[in-house]
Amino acid sequence: MESFHWDKYYLTDLETVDEQHKKLVDIINEYGSLLSEDKLNTVSIEKVFKDLFDYTLYHFEEEEQLMKTMNVDERHIYSHIKNHEYFLDEITRMHESLLTDSTSISDELLDFLVHWLAYHILGKDQNMARQIKKIEAGETPEEAFEEDIAEGNNAREALLFSLNTLFNQVSDRNRKLVRLNMSLEKKVLERTKELQEANEQKDILLFQQSKMASMGEMIGNITHQWRQPISIISMWANNIIVDIDMENVKSDELRVYAENINEQTQYLSHTIDDFRNFFIPNKNKSTFTLRSSVDKTMSLLKDLFKTHNIELIENIEEIEITALENELTQAILNILKNAKDVLVSRLQGTRKLIFIDIYKENNRAFIEIKDNGGGIKDNIIDKVFDSYFTTKAKSHGTGIGLHMTESIINNHLNGEISVSNEEYKYEDVDCKGAKFSINFPI
């Protein structure tokens, strides 16, 4: 299966340029085959990057030299070279990120190559080819440049500009996510080392480890969440290109496509903002509602819950408190992730349910979270808040999350947390599961 299908629409009628474009297509399709057949390894992916870097050296140099030899207008040469530099910057950034996130970078690289090549050829390279033909026919470079702009299909030019801008924004969000991950990881490692050397309190070190574990899982969730909107954006973009090629562009349909693409782009933007706001350290107390804390947690988990068909039933009173909001959100996140893991591993063909009840009594707030995952064995239920205690495989659990939840509730909220098993009925479902009960003064 080809990742990039070469078509006559991509021909520039510049023999050397077209042949070099086909070489890049071959690199892309070979890489796509390795990726789809799960045959990628360190050696093969390094070869792909080497081929790409080699390609940029000879193709970009020859293309830029061709424009100068043919006296193409400097305005076009400048924008064309900027497009080349953007490609090289992205490939370099992805290559540097391989050490920390090889899986998501592998997928991102294929998406980037396919989109960039299609839009670059249909845009800048076709512009260049038309201007060269005009110059060969006796026009000045300035005339060729101005006429190409004037004669160009305005809808095509506007669309290609918008699509390139859109894909640049998506790539920029990816780049910020990777850099944020690397920055946070570096800060956590540095802080952990300082704490170890100074022999500070054990719980502080554990909190950093818990935050890091949550961060890694959330980055994986975001990668999963982004696949669908990026695919939708790609589909709509390709539909528009097909309409243009068939000269079937209608302004009302184009507006609908653009609005849908913009909606998906905003979703991507909100996702990375939610992630950044949650993990940026903030040790200043603020006034917020418990509802907002739950909402912030669910902004990170809602797509994961949807993927696993987990139903969330909420009964939340409007209660305002003054505390460290991110730490309470972290505590709720740890409990909900634990419930999700239990439901996914134990229940097949049965409704997966999580309940959140929040209310107040006698100047205390109560948070109760329960599931229908079968509960906790009696011989270990007293150990679930112990540090490093986990029933999961080592590759799937650290045993830190619930211990840190207890520490947050006890130390930062001056509250209490307990766990029990509960049997109950919800609608047509007989339920049994773990129930975490939290209370603290307000």
* Same domain membership, residue 128 and residue 8: yes
Per-residue pLDDT of the chain (442 residues; tens, 9 = 90+): 566 778 787 889 999 999 999 998 898 888 877 876 677 788 888 898 999 999 888 899 999 999 999 999 999 999 999 989 999 998 898 888 876 666 667 767 877 887 787 778 878 898 899 999 999 999 999 999 998 887 765 555 555 565 556 655 665 565 566 557 667 777 777 777 776 665 556 655 556 655 565 555 556 556 655 666 777 777 777 777 777 767 776 777 777 777 777 776 776 666 666 556 555 555 678 899 999 999 988 887 887 898 899 999 999 999 999 998 888 988 898 899 889 989 998 988 889 999 999 999 999 999 999 999 999 999 999 888 886 656 654 444 445 678 878 888 988 899 999 999 999 999 988 999 999 999 999 8
Residue 20: inside a domain: yes
Q: What is the domain-level CATH number for residue 45?
A: 1.20.120.50
Cα–Cα distances in angstroms (integers) from residue 219 to residues 222, 226, 298, in the given order: 5, 11, 15
* Same domain membership, residue 336 and residue 217: no
* Same domain membership, residue 147 and residue 17: yes
* Same domain membership, residue 146 and residue 5: yes
* Same domain membership, residue 211 and residue 125: no
* Same domain membership, residue 319 and residue 264: no
* Same domain membership, residue 338 and residue 261: no
Question: Which residue among 230, 260, 281 closes a domain?
Answer: 281
Supply the pLDDT for residue 394: 46
* Same domain membership, residue 110 and residue 36: yes
Q: What is the domain-level CATH number for residue 308?
A: 3.30.565.10
**Cβ contact 300:332 at 8 Å:** no
* Same domain membership, residue 210 and residue 95: no
Supply the pLDDT for residue 114: 75
* Same domain membership, residue 296 and residue 368: yes
Q: How many domains does the chain have?
A: 3
Residue 378: inside a domain: yes
* Same domain membership, residue 29 and residue 117: yes
Q: Output the six-digit token pair for 8.
A: 């006559």
Supply the pLDDT for residue 256: 75
Residue 263: inside a domain: yes
Residue 166: inside a domain: no
Supply the pLDDT for residue 396: 47
Residue 249: inside a domain: yes
Question: Which residue among 152, 169, 200 closes a domain?
Answer: 152
Supply the pLDDT for residue 285: 85
Q: What is the domain-level CATH number for residue 224?
A: 1.10.287
b (16+ CB within 10 A) / e for 401-415: bbbbbbbbbeeebeb
Residue 165: inside a domain: no
Q: Which residue range(s) make up the domain with 309?
A: 286-441
Residue 184: inside a domain: no
Question: Which residue among 222, 248, 281 closes a domain?
Answer: 281
Residue 173: inside a domain: no
Q: Output the six-digit token pair for 41.
A: 């390894």
- CA torsion through residues 400, 405, 411, 416, sign: negative
* Same domain membership, residue 139 and residue 34: yes
